[in-house]
Structure 1
């Protein structure tokens, strides 16, 4: 341990006395990461930077630590203003430290409101207490946050292919420099080769994202341990403040971190729920060719952190082994993202309003690891509205033939980009006209992928009851009323014989066996 690190340890130990604080304190507790120590006092937490230089960050001088505390306060107030209170100077001596005081500062701390860390989302996930409400909150919050951020200046260098390639390679180099375990190195080699191949293939895609303005000053460290449930509201804290290069990133790289961490925790269904909810609100479907690149990159970031902790805890066998275990798990998850998972079908949800298509499509997309696109959302988007906005204030018939035609064109364009990225897609629309279905059949033929139709139905009284109940409760993007249903009943064109041969009938008036239906869809896709 360096003299400066030892001094910080002395300061934190000496501070653990109630008379040193201007506020009530409870039990003291210290939480340590590879770059910080957090002193918990009961109601207030004090976060200290470790005096380390890890290459990708440098906190080795007092001035660097002060500057970083100031930046961290400013940036984290964007998403969690109630948690981040102030930057506090520590004066006096390491053996007799004073918070504030009149002498020269010997250290700095970030003052935060303390929360119940058993409510961190990683811990909720481990206890199987992470809910769809948490995920839906995150999707809406992050989409709005990303939309609010200005894009990086074209001449800033942020988001460049060279910069992204450097960070990807740095993860491997940092692990190589710290780990000589043959098991780890055996996992590392194919991942490095895959990453280099992806960089070569996707250079144009990376530069296009930059040109289109998707490089923004994000949170940068978006995993579950940096999120907490406080009285039912999810707060996102502890953004990556120490490196602008690691914070000014593609918004898709940002959400890939959360997707990867949900997968790491075994919540694959919640990962895909978040993915689809976020994409709907952010309107960002065109970068999906980079999704696996960024998920692998994020798994490697966490593997790098685990490698650093292995080195830091080399004198503590138990902690070193726990870090090694995390390192290997992240490497294996990264390998899983590089595997070919077979057919990527287009699945059309065919059925009248009220048939339960949207609810079923959401369940299936979460179970199948698929992207879902919705006519109800894209119709509103064409009117300049968000998914939850009402069309009633618009001087436009939202279900007019012309807007319906444009909506299906939009869905077709989105579906093309999604399958071109190698991802299966559920297209949630009524598809009551043969021409609408034929356009997607041609798309599947051109792309050389299978098409499956889910023929979703329920008795007419059930349809009417559901539509009325939906109108009363609100909160659903669909605004089809009974008049729209009557029009659909009068004008629908039944599936042709050829269409029925690729369709699967689903009656939603009874319980649907989603697992069996997933199996049948995949079987049809592989046929």
Structure 2
């Protein structure tokens, strides 16, 4: 039987199991395999060797191309994780006795990395030991900040253009169908739904492309490419380096990969939390109409990968690998069908109401998970209007964030953002004090105009508790809110009680008592109160 280039590489990898092939201590060498690479784990080091394959969307068929890709991977991944990525090294010696490094004729190239425990990747941890929520919050915020700083697509380039997005989405169907023709009906239905979605989203895609949201992204941002080692934050690695057109994309498409993978593992709660925290950090609320199509696209990318792995497993007669690939294919096809289903939940507008320290932000974030909502925070948007970051101190910047003019400007911004999010089909939680009726009324009128349910959560706590919370928050220094005891005292004097019409929409919550968030979410989720809302324009 004639050997193929892949057989030759596989034999080389087997020979590299010898610890003597390495210039450092390696008592045992482990080998991991993906559809495009082998990863050798040797001591405290890892070496990634690319397979000599041409899959259409990537071409590693020559040694020169594999070397070039390793060098690009080193350069690009250092943007996201300089700690892990070391150098590109040659593999020399003979096919039977290769070694890492050396000056002899080169057999292959490898990307040299810092080794980490594969059990720390989040695809393995997500079900048995997921990172705590603060770690997810920190990662989502850092990802939003990273995306905001990444280089934009070159001017006049077609990266991220509507026609290129269309081509990439539709190419996935052909890639699956060419390997699994028995799925013709199912893949055909998914392709038709995608075409309809793309036709409806043409203007939104064009706005993203022209609006500067096409950046040099990670491109392969799923759980297997995230890790958290003991004592460290969640980290990114292994960006998609082999194709500029698949990497220089809409930032929302990048994060959609992670959100899809969280759904795949049954963690919709984390999906919603990460999304809301990311959007806030990235200041990117206006692309949400494209999120579901992007998630469907990402599900089909992984379906394509599963189809390739299925094909490779069949060629090796590897029954267990074939079973896993078939299972992955089915799971991702189901997700794609779900995202392209036109039936979506009715958006809800939820207004938090209460003075500073009453617990609005904490409850709002809990409800983000339970309702699948997006949170808007007045403390963040107020600073954004002043040209400041959430962690910046307005006093040190010489700005007064609590003037009547700033209050009005902040509520106008919150209203505009809420409209866009509701219009995209997502529930919105507006985390603000809403102490004055003039601030509440435009939001209630917006819900009436859109025919959407709206509720007010009226949060209270004893004054002594409020004061203690405000002092502790200031001492911690980790919250965007700068409202101190003086602001609290002013708010308690200035608060305007809810009108009769508003009280019909309100749910009172004493935040010093235990609260069943899931029960509250079910009550809110079932609310279809627009038909019962009195005329909110009347006092």
| TM-score range normalised by the length of the shorter chain | over 0.9
Q: CA deviation at 1:2?
A: 4.8
Deviates most, 394-403 or 210-219: 394-403
Please give the TM-score of this superposition, normalised by the length of structure 2.
Answer: 0.95
CA distance in structure 1 between the partners assigned to 2:472 and 2:103 by the alignment: 65
Superposition pairs for residues 239-254 of structure 1, below 5 Å? 239-254=239-254
Residue in structure 1 matched with residue 474 of structure 2 by the alignment:
471
Structure 1 position 366 matched with structure 2 position 369: yes
Q: What residue number does 1:508 align with? A: 511
Contact 1:90 1:101 in 2 (8 A): yes
Which residue of structure 2 lines up, in the alignment, with residue 146 of structure 1?
Answer: 147
Please list, as runs of the form range in 1=range in 2, the aligned pairs for 1:121-520 lying within 5 A after superposition: 121-182=122-183, 185-230=184-229, 231-314=231-314, 315-339=317-341, 340-520=343-523
**CA distance in 2 between partners of 1:261 and 1:363 (Å):** 21
Deviation at 1:445, TM superposition (A): 2.2
Distance 1:383 1:15 in 2: 58
State the Cα distance separating 1:419 from its structure 2 match. 0.8
**Take 1:313 and 1:10, find their aligned partners in 2: how far apart are those partners?**
17
Structure 1 gaps, min length 5: none
Cα distance in structure 1, aligned partners of 2:276 and 2:71: 35
How far apart are the structure 2 equivalents of 1:14 and 1:445?
70
Contact 1:358-1:428 at 8 Å conserved across structures:
yes
Please provide the CA RMSD for this pair.
1.4
User: Deviation at 1:465?
Assistant: 1.6
Is the CA contact 1:26–1:43 (under 8 Å) kept in the aligned structure 2? no
Q: What per-residue deviation string (whole Å, max 9, x for no partner) do you get for residues 469-491 of structure 1?
A: 21112201111111111111111
SS of the residue corresponding to residue 313 of structure 1 reads: helix
Deviation digits for residues 224-272 of structure 1 (CA, Å, limit 9, x no counterpart): 1111113322221100010000000000000011111111111111111
Q: 1:145-168 deviations in whole A, cap 9, x for unaligned?
A: 112112112311101111100000
- Deviations along 1:30-88, one digit per CA (max 9) or x if unpaired, are 10000001111121111100000111001111111111111011111111112111111
Structure 1 pair 187–372 and aligned structure 2 pair: CA distance change class (3 A)? farther
Is the 8 Å Cα contact of residues 361 and 428 (structure 1) preserved in structure 2? yes
Q: CA deviation at 1:187?
A: 4.2
3-state SS of 2:68 partner: helix
Structure 2 residue aligned with 1:16 = 17
SS of the residue aligned with 2:528? Answer: helix
Give how far 1:186 is off.
5.0
Aligned to 1:77: 78
Tell me, what secondary structure is at the counterpart of 1:426? Answer: strand
Separation of aligned partners in 1, 2:359 and 2:510 = 9
Is the 1:8–1:94 Cα contact (8 Å) retained in structure 2?
no
Query: For 1:240, what is the secondary structure of its paired residue?
Result: coil
Match of 1:57 in 2: 58
Q: TM-score normalized by structure 1?
A: 0.97
Q: How many pairs are equivalent?
A: 525
Q: Which piece of structure 1 moves more, 304-313 or 341-350?
A: 341-350
Contact 2:415–2:443 (8 Å) recurs in 1 = yes
Q: Spell out, residue by residue over 1:325-371, the C-alpha distance to the aligned partner (whole angstroms, 9 max, x if none).
A: 11111111222223323310111111111111110000001111011
How far residue 181 of structure 1 moved from its aligned partner, in angstroms, is 4.1
Q: Contact 2:221/2:254 (CA < 8 Å) preserved in 1? A: yes
